Amino acid sequence: MQKRWNILSADEKKVNVLHDALKVSKTLCKILVRRGIDDFEKAKHFFRPQLSDLHSPWLMKDMQKAVERIDKAIDQKEKILVFGDYDVDGTTSVASMYQFLKNKYDALDFYIPHRYREGYGISKIGIDFAKENNFTLIISLDCGIKSVELIAYAKTLGIDFIVCDHHLPDNELPNAVAILNPKQKDCNYPFKELCGCGVGFKLMKALSERWNLNEASYLQYLDLVATAIAADIVPMNGENRVMAFYGLKKVNENPCAGIKALMQLAAIQKEMHITNLVFIIAPRVNAAGRMDDARKAVQLFIEQDFSKAMEFAEMLHSDNTDRKEADSSITEEALALIERDENLMNRKTTVVFQEHWHKGVVGIVASRLIEKYYRPTVVLTKSGEFIAGSARSVTGYNLYEAIHACREYLIGYGGHFAAAGLTLAPENFNAFSNAFEKIVNETITPELLIPEIIIDAEINFSEANISFYNILTQMEPFGPENMRPVFIAKKVMDTGFSKIVKEQHIRFVLKQNNTTITGIGFNMADKFSLLQKNQPLDIVFNVDLNEWNGEKNIQLKMIDVRLSE
Burial (CB count within 10 angstroms: exposed 0-12, middle 13-18, buried 19+), residue 540:
buried
Query: CB of 495 within 8 A of CB of 510?
Result: yes
CA atoms within 13 A on the CB side of 513: 8
pLDDT in tens, 257-272: 999 999 999 888 788 9
What span, in angstroms and rounded, lies between the C-alpha atoms of 563 and 534?
10
Domains of the chain and CATH, by start: 4-48+453-563 (2.40.50.460), 57-317 (3.90.1640.30), 341-449 (3.10.310.30)
C-alpha 70/C-alpha 352 separation (Å) is 48
CB 144 within 8 A of CB 151: yes
d(CA 141, CA 89): 9
Q: Sheet of 160-164: strands edge to edge?
A: 108-111, 79-84, 135-141, 160-164, 178-180
The CA-to-CA distance between both ends of the chain, in Å, stands at 19
What residue type is assigned to position 200 of the chain? G
Segments in the chain below pLDDT 50: none
The pLDDT value recorded for residue 414 is 83
The answer to whether 478 and 484 have CB atoms below 8 angstroms apart is yes
pLDDT for residue 454 = 96
Q: How many CB atoms are located within 10 Å of the residue 215 CB?
A: 11
Rounded to 5°, angle at Cα 272 from 270 and 275: 120
Query: Of 95, 103, 99, 479, which is closest to residue 300 (Cα–Cα)?
Result: 95
Rounded Cα gap, residues 80 and 98, in angstroms: 10
Question: Could you tell me which residues come within 8 angstroms of residue 314 by beta carbon, excluding any fewer than 6 positions away?
Answer: 265
C-beta separation of 60 from 167 below 8 A: no
Is the CB of residue 43 less than 8 Å from the CB of residue 160?
Answer: no
Q: Report the SS3 class of residue 138.
A: strand
Length of the chain in terms of residues written: 565
Q: What is the DSSP letter of 495?
A: -
Angle subtended by helix axes 257-265 and 282-291, to nearest 10: 90
Cβ pair 246, 260 in contact under 8 A: no
Give the per-residue pLDDT at 352: 96
Identify the pLDDT of residue 238: 94
Q: Tell me, rounded to whole angstroms, the distance of Cα 312 from its chain centroid.
A: 23
Q: 35-87 pLDDT, tens per residue?
A: 999 999 999 999 999 999 999 999 999 999 999 999 999 999 999 999 999 99
> What is the pTM for the complete model shown?
0.92
Give strand pairing partners of 520: 507, 557
Question: How many angstroms separate the CA atoms of 60 and 322, rounded?
Answer: 41
Q: Could you tell me how many helices (H) and strands (E) the chain has, helices first?
A: 22, 19
